[in-house]
Structure formats: structure tokens, C-alpha cells
């Protein structure tokens, strides 16, 4: 028997910076429920730092540009549907496209008239002056390095080390069916739960993104430059993913 908990809003990065705060969180929220499945937006946490055995980590990542496009429109859609509006979007702000917001950011920072690479470099060296919730920055290095460490320790190298050392499996959203099959193979005791989660996600995906529109190619090109660290980790994870599928005897149904 085990306890499963879905966590929509885990502790913020500032809440678990000290070893003492991490120990208290693990002691009160996780250890009493063992064996425990903790599901949600949870970044890496080093249990060995706390003198504890590291749990089994499993995650799913997505193409970085597509992830940001979905994030951008999801924030506006949930505000438009009155589910949650943490950014206090106005009606006009909810109608802004990602193309609009990137151009506003470029114009306000004076980064116009440059090549794709030079535009991205200019944006990265100046204070953000774009739309609400429109700041595009790599997030995978922090996610896999751990949100609950000093920001100076976050790096692509650290993230790769943690992935190799602590993550049993990382799936790919673009290969979601294969990801679920792999998880069911790795964790056969939780096949029913994984299948249920898969059907739930499929249902949710049919009902979100009504405000979403695909950005122009020029916008995506600049985004890829801004998200170079994310793409380095995404490529690293994809290689690992394909190796795992091969070892598990799972065939690809499509290639992306």
C-alpha cells in the first residue's frame, strides 16, 4: 500500500533554501507517508544532503519553445476563464500574442535591427521590459540542478550530473505514448495509475489552448537562441530517452 499525492503548488524556491527548512518539509510532508508517490511540478531536491536515501526521480520534458508557447497562452487562458489571474492581466493584455510581446520587448530594450543571435544576446544583457509573464529564459538548468539551492550553483553541467545520477527515467512530451509505456515497464506496480494519468492528460489537452496561436518563424528563431541552455539539456535528455526505449524494447511510433 502506498500514498499518492498530486502537488499543484509545491514550496517556492525561497521557502526551502536552508538545510533546516528542507529537513522540516521532508519530515512533515513526505516521510510520514512512505511509501509515497509525489506527483506535480517538483524540481530536483537532494535528499542525500539531508542524510536521507534519494527517492526515485521520474520526469517529463518538452521541446523548450513549445513549452514556452503553451505556458504563455495558458497563463492568459486561465485568467480569461477566471480560474486564476496571478499576473492581474487586463482584457487587452490577455489578447496579446507571443509575437506581440516579443516585439514589445525588443522595441523597449532597443534591440531592434539585429540578427537573430545578436537580438537574443541584446535581450539577455538588458533588464526585462516586455509583457507580463512574457520573459523568456531557460528553466531546465534550474529545474534539474534544483530550485532549492543557491542560484550561483545552477548550471547545465550540474543538471546533467543530477540527471545521470538520480533520474531513473525522463520522458518526452513529443513521444508521450512511448513515455507512458516506458514508465509502465519501469514501474509495473503503478500501471493503472499511469494509464489513468495518461487519459486525464489527453482529456485536459482537448480543453486547453483555445487562445493559443503558433508564433511566427522569426519569433521561434529568437526564442531558440534565448533558450539555448534548455535545448542543450533537452538534446541530452532525448538521447538518453532513446537509449532507454531501446533497452526496454519499445518501438517508436513516430519521429520528431
Residue 242, pLDDT > 80, answer: yes
Record the pTM. 0.88
Cα dihedral 118, 122, 125, 128 in deg (nearest 10) = -140
Chain centre to alpha carbon of residue 12:
15
Distance between first and last Cα of the chain: 38
Statement: residue 225 has pLDDT above 90? yes
Q: Where are the domains of the chain?
A: 64-138+216-228
- Which of 18-27, 75-84, 191-200, 204-213 holds the top average pLDDT? 18-27
pLDDT in tens, 51-64: 988 888 999 999 99
Judge whether 62 and 172 are in contact, CB under 8 Å.
yes
Q: Which helix (H) or strand (E) holds 49?
A: none
214 is written with which cell numbers? Answer: 503558433
Per the DSSP assignment, residues forming a β-bridge with 4 are: 37
Residue with cell 510581446: 101
DSSP letters, 90-135, are: -HHHHT--HHHHHHHHHHHHT--S--HHHHHHHHHTS---SSTT--
Q: What is the average pLDDT value for the chain, to the nearest integer?
A: 86
pLDDT band at 13 (very low <50, low <70, confident <90, very high): confident
Per-residue model confidence (pLDDT) at position 67:
94
Amino acid at each position: 500500500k502506498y500514498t499518492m499525492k498530486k502537488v499543484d503548488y509545491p514550496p517556492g524556491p525561497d521557502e526551502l533554501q536552508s538545510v533546516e527548512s528542507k529537513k522540516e518539509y521532508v519530515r512533515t510532508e513526505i516521510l510520514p507517508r512512505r511509501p509515497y508517490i509525489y506527483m506535480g511540478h517538483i524540481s530536483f531536491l537532494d535528499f542525500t544532503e539531508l542524510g536521507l536515501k534519494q527517492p526515485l526521480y521520474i520526469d517529463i520534458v518538452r521541446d523548450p519553445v513549445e513549452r514556452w508557447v503553451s505556458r504563455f497562452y495558458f497563463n492568459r487562458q486561465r485568467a480569461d476563464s477566471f480560474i486564476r489571474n496571478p499576473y492581474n492581466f487586463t482584457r487587452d493584455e490577455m489578447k496579446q500574442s507571443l509575437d506581440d510581446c516579443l516585439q514589445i520587448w525588443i522595441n523597449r530594450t532597443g534591440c531592434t535591427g539585429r540578427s537573430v543571435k545578436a537580438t537574443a544576446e541584446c535581450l539577455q544583457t538588458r533588464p526585462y521590459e516586455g509583457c507580463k509573464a512574457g520573459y523568456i529564459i531557460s528553466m531546465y538548468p534550474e529545474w534539474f540542478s534544483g530550485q532549492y539551492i543557491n542560484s550561483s550553483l545552477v548550471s547545465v553541467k550540474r543538471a546533467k550530473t543530477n540527471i545521470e545520477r538520480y533520474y531513473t527515467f525522463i520522458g518526452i512530451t513529443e513521444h508521450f505514448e512511448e513515455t507512458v509505456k516506458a514508465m509502465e515497464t519501469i514501474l509495473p506496480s503503478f500501471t493503472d495509475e499511469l494509464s489513468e494519468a495518461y487519459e486525464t492528460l489527453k482529456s485536459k489537452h482537448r480543453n486547453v489552448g483555445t487562445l493559443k496561436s503558433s508564433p511566427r518563424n522569426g519569433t521561434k528563431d529568437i526564442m531558440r537562441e534565448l533558450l539555448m541552455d534548455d535545448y542543450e539539456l533537452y538534446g541530452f535528455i532525448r538521447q538518453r530517452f532513446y537509449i532507454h526505449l531501446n533497452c526496454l524494447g519499445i518501438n517508436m511510433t513516430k519521429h520528431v
